[in-house]
Amino acid sequence: MNNLKTRDITQLALIAALYVAVTIAPVISAFSYGQIQFRVSEILMLLPFFNHKYSWSLIIGCFISNIFSASLGVYDLILGTLATAIACLIITKIPKNVKWLWTVPVVCAVVNGIIVGAELHFVLNLPFWLNFVTVGLGELVVVAIGAIIFYFLMQNQNFNKLIN
């Protein structure tokens, strides 16, 4: 991270802004928060698989997006962002091989299912296991769709140059 160039910083800022814009977009935001989540911006969670520097974009983007979480407030700022940070850390440890790309949706689903599921349980008094399943399943679906898209993008050499 010490060798970031202006281009890298700009790229990271754009990805964080994209995460926020997609999360809080009027039509999409209805599915970005709460017990049943299909946060479309979570497709970007595949980026740390390619390069760990993208973790910062996602953590910052998640933090800013969670400012708009009306029902969970400061809890979502802390716990939702923590879930993203932990998922990013685990994703950066996955071997950079196309066959391992498919583990990213599972990591995201489990981490968010546990942390956000517990957050919803303690803050809104909703049943933990139901939260775990609904949040985890939403995360799994969104990131798996992203994995399919990224799988095909990885076939393009220009994409590989851009992403790494």
State the distance between the two ends of the chain, measured CA to CA, in whole angstroms: 14
What's residue 1's pLDDT? 58
What's residue 78's pLDDT? 95
Q: CA torsion sign, 89 to 94 to 97 to 99?
A: negative
Residue 102, CB-side half-sphere exposure with 13 Å CA sphere: 2
* Dihedral class, residue 34 (left if φ above 0, else alpha if ψ from -120 to 50, else beta): left
CA angle 96, 98, 99 (to 5 degrees): 105
Per residue of the chain (164 residues), give pLDDT as tens.
567 789 889 999 999 999 999 999 887 777 777 778 889 999 999 999 999 999 999 999 999 999 988 778 899 999 999 999 999 999 999 999 889 999 999 999 999 999 999 999 999 999 999 999 999 999 999 999 999 999 999 888 888 888 87
Answering whether pTM is above 0.95, one says no
**Residue 138 CB contacts under 8 Å (≥ 6 apart), including other chains:** 31, 36, 37, 38, 39
For residues 126 and 134, what is the distance between their CA atoms, to the nearest angstrom? 12
For residues 96 and 63, what is the distance between their CA atoms, to the nearest angstrom? 27
Spell out the domains of the chain, with CATH numbers in brackets: 6-163 (1.10.1760.20)
What's residue 116's pLDDT? 95
Residues written for the chain: 164
What's residue 44's pLDDT? 96
What's residue 80's pLDDT? 94
